[in-house]
Structure 1
Amino acid sequence: MPGETLVDTAHLLVVDDDARLRSLLQRFLAEQGFRVTVAADAAAARAALTSVAFDLVVLDVMMPGESGLELVESLRREGNDVPVLMLTARGGPDDRVAGFELGADDYLGKPFDPRELALRIRTILRRVTPPPPQLLPAAPVQLGMRWFDAERSELRGPDGTVRLTGGEASLLAALARRAGEVLSREDIATALGTPEAGERAVDVQVTRLRRKIEPDPREPRFLHTIRHRGYVLRPGP
């Protein structure tokens, strides 16, 4: 329909071994306007991901056989950057950080309100969908021999395109828009649409991004930590 965007019509993959919850989520999310495919375990999810380019995966952590954490880690290792929202009955800070470290984009503890799930899904989709060109930086940002193009969410260099996850691209875009300015962890979390994630989760995302943009992540040239204040991106050759 005219005016519809990815946020309104995304194709979701819901992976959970609880048949009742799968059915409830499939029905509710379909009522929200999403296309929904369901899978009972990691093996079924892999089969679906092989044949369909999903816009987002809702993934249960605790499943028999391969867990949700193991699945998302494997997907990221294979270069699959589909956004992942993880569901878990274990919602402690360490569990959430473990998910972010392995490549998840957001985390929601069980039990949850389905309306909050839909809201978080839309937040992630807005974050990974490039905004209209007029809202983007006028020029790419130089990071050594590479350039970050916010319009395409691409980091390119002599060795080709560096694959960025949706979260990494959003983080780099937020920093690039305010290059040279120190952003607090709270500012960054808000820019990413995850203010509830906490400071440690932001640190994890920064660590992951440094592995993609820094010649030596242990000695950053571009993405600097400012003690007690936050982070700053300093582009340059």
Structure 2
Amino acid sequence: MTASVLIVDDDPSIGAAINTLLHYRGYRTTYAADASSGTEAFNKYAFDLVLADIFMPGENGLSMISRFRRTSPLVPIIAISGLRFRTDGPRLDFLTMARKLGAASVLRKPFSPMELMSAIDACLVQGAALDCTAQLKR
């Protein structure tokens, strides 16, 4: 059975790159450019996995992850983000926040195709309830 993946990322070049890689690997994909479109697709279709960017215009990925986790706790979510804040105080780590909200795995952009596929494979095998950290650590 071919896995179905929802990709939610406001950067069309990242969405296209992930979409192309996953199609090449035999996955069915749906791309959404924002949290609203992602939520609409998530509510309309069944997905085996969600790739969710954290920072997007409008609703952010953190609230979307939290909502998806409440409504479909068994669907693994991989949070992705490239945004880093430089502060003099404690660093805000939004990927850690995503994990606390229910993301099964996280990837910091830029990530390699191998890192992405490793995270996806681990999450599809292990499921949402487990920590899917088979990807390379940064």
Normalising TM by the smaller chain, what interval?
A: 0.7 to 0.9
Amino acid at match of 2:57: P
Could you tell me which of 40, 61, 65 is aligned with 1:72?
65
Cα displacement (A) at 1:95: 2.5
Cα displacement (A) at 1:19: 1.0
Alignment partner, residue 107 of structure 1: 106
**Alpha-carbon contact 2:118-2:134 (below 8 Å) kept:** no
Alignment partner, residue 26 of structure 2: 33
Alignment partner, residue 116 of structure 2: 117
Counterparts of 1:28 and 1:197, CA distance in 2? 18
For residues 16-36 of structure 1, give each alpha carbon's deviation from its aligned partner in whole angstroms, at most 9, with x where no partner exists.
111111111111110011111
Counterparts of 2:134 and 2:50, CA distance in 1? 21
1:197–1:76 Cα change, 3 Å: farther
Question: With structure 2 as the length reference, what TM-score do the two structures score?
Answer: 0.84
For residues 37-64 of structure 1, give each alpha carbon's deviation from its aligned partner in whole angstroms, at most 9, with x where no partner exists.
1000011011111111100000101100
Question: With structure 1 as the length reference, what TM-score do the two structures score?
Answer: 0.50
What SS does the corresponding residue of 1:47 show, helix, strand or coil?
helix
**Alpha-carbon contact 2:80-2:95 (below 8 Å) kept:** no
Structure 2 unaligned residues grouped into runs of 5+: 85-90
**Alpha-carbon contact 2:119-2:134 (below 8 Å) kept:** no
Counterparts of 1:88 and 1:45, CA distance in 2? 16
Counterparts of 2:100 and 2:22, CA distance in 1? 27
Percentage of pairs with the same residue: 35
Structure 1 unaligned residues grouped into runs of 5+: 129-165, 171-191, 199-237
Cα displacement (A) at 1:90: 3.6
Alignment partner, residue 176 of structure 1: none
Counterparts of 2:68 and 2:135, CA distance in 1? 25
Larger RCO (CA under 8 A, 6+ residues apart): 2
What SS does the corresponding residue of 1:38 show, helix, strand or coil?
strand
Alignment partner, residue 12 of structure 2: 19
Structure 1 segments of 4 or more deviating over 6 A?
Answer: 195-198
The number of aligned residues is 130
Alignment partner, residue 41 of structure 2: 48
Counterparts of 1:14 and 1:100, CA distance in 2? 17
